[in-house]
């Protein structure tokens, strides 16, 4: 009987701990106030949005936006916070936000209806167009010319869905080859293991700009889909959501977001001092003018 009571007490204690951990995970302000640490999800090769400079240093358009959010999170927590960088991939970024490992994901994540069931997004900071990157001498100018070709894309991204959708629509037969991240996918194109790389246009431009021979590559073809890109946080975290929303909206209203965009997309950036040269689309400017969290489905052509 004593053993049963002890076991029951232990189970109740463990349940209490689990409940406390869950509650803390969905209250980022309380979590970081207690720990003094905020964990930022970052990407190694999503230039110019989020990328590594080596030696544990990360930078990019979304990193700078997230730094502003963290500055306001510090005010709410009432203490200075240490920023811990947690590299994430297309496959694990959502689970790591959900389970509390990552507090704010500052990468290149598309806001869509499916993901909104699992995580929350701050207002859209960039509206992307999915395109095709090829070698200049490939002769490829459209997705219909990918028939019989190897086409690279990055595992866990929405571009995989875009490829499959277009394959069915156009009755073309191509083989998908997957890179674990965007630099790995670009290497498939660069090395000739793929004839094309389908991904967000800005990420393609960033990979080309940072390559050994940028002049050997170009972005071609029709726009395959339009996707809002945003910073991601946990669901049901009202206090942190308000901090993030207010920060991003103020940056848009003041023109700071537009200045950051110019800095990262239109000016030379590290590590090679190369310029991406990707002009803000009218959809991106509209998202800055009227902040929103609309999923990509709302951008689909009717």
Q: Are 232 and 105 in contact (CB under 8 A)?
A: yes
Tell me the whole-structure pTM to 2 decimals.
Answer: 0.80
Q: What are phi and psi of 86, to 5 degrees?
A: -120, 105
- Residue-range domains of the chain with CATH: 28-125+230-299 (3.40.190.10), 129-227 (3.40.190.10)
pLDDT, tens only, 241-264: 999 999 999 999 999 999 999 999
Q: Are 230 and 284 in contact (CB under 8 A)?
A: no
Angle between helices 61-77 and 238-254 (to 10 degrees): 130
For each successive 10 residues of the chain (302 residues), what is the average pLDDT? 38 38 70 98 96 96 98 98 97 96 97 97 95 96 91 87 71 89 96 95 93 95 90 98 98 98 97 92 95 93 52
* Cα 201 versus chain centre, distance: 13
pLDDT, tens only, 72-116: 999 999 999 999 999 999 999 999 999 999 999 999 999 999 999
């Amino acid at each position: 009987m004593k053993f049963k009571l002890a076991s029951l007490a232990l189970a109740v204690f463990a349940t209490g701990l689990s409940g406390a951990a869950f509650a803390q995970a969905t209250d980022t302000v309380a979590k970081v106030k207690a720990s003094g640490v905020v964990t930022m999800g970052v990407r190694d090769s999503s230039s110019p949005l989020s990328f590594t400079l080596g030696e544990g240093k990360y930078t990019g358009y979304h990193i700078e936006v997230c730094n502003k959010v963290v500055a306001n999170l510090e005010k709410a927590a009432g203490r200075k916070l240490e920023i811990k960088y947690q590299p994430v991939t297309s496959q694990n970024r959502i689970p790591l936000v959900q389970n509390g490992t990552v507090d704010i994901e500052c990468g290149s994540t598309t806001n869509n209806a499916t993901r909104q069931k699992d995580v929350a997004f701050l207002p859209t900071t960039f509206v992307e167009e999915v395109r095709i990157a090829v070698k200049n001498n490939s002769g490829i100018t459209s997705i219909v010319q990918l028939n019989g070709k190897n086409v690279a894309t990055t595992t866990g991204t929405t571009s995989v869905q875009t490829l499959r959708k277009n394959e069915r629509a156009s009755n073309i037969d191509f083989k998908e080859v997957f890179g674990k991240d965007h630099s790995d996918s670009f290497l498939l194109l660069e090395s000739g293991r793929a004839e094309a790389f389908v991904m967000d246009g800005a990420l393609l431009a960033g990979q080309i700009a940072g390559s050994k021979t940028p002049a050997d590559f170009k972005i071609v073809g029709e726009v395959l889909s339009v996707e809002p890109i945003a910073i991601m946080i946990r669901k049901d975290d009202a206090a942190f959501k308000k901090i993030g929303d207010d920060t991003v909206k103020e940056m848009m209203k003041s023109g700071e977001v537009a200045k950051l965009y110019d800095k990262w997309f239109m000016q030379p950036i590290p590590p090679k001092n190369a310029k991406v040269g990707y002009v803000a689309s009218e959809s991106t400017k509209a998202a800055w003018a009227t902040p929103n969290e609309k999923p990509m489905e709302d951008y689909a052509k009717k």
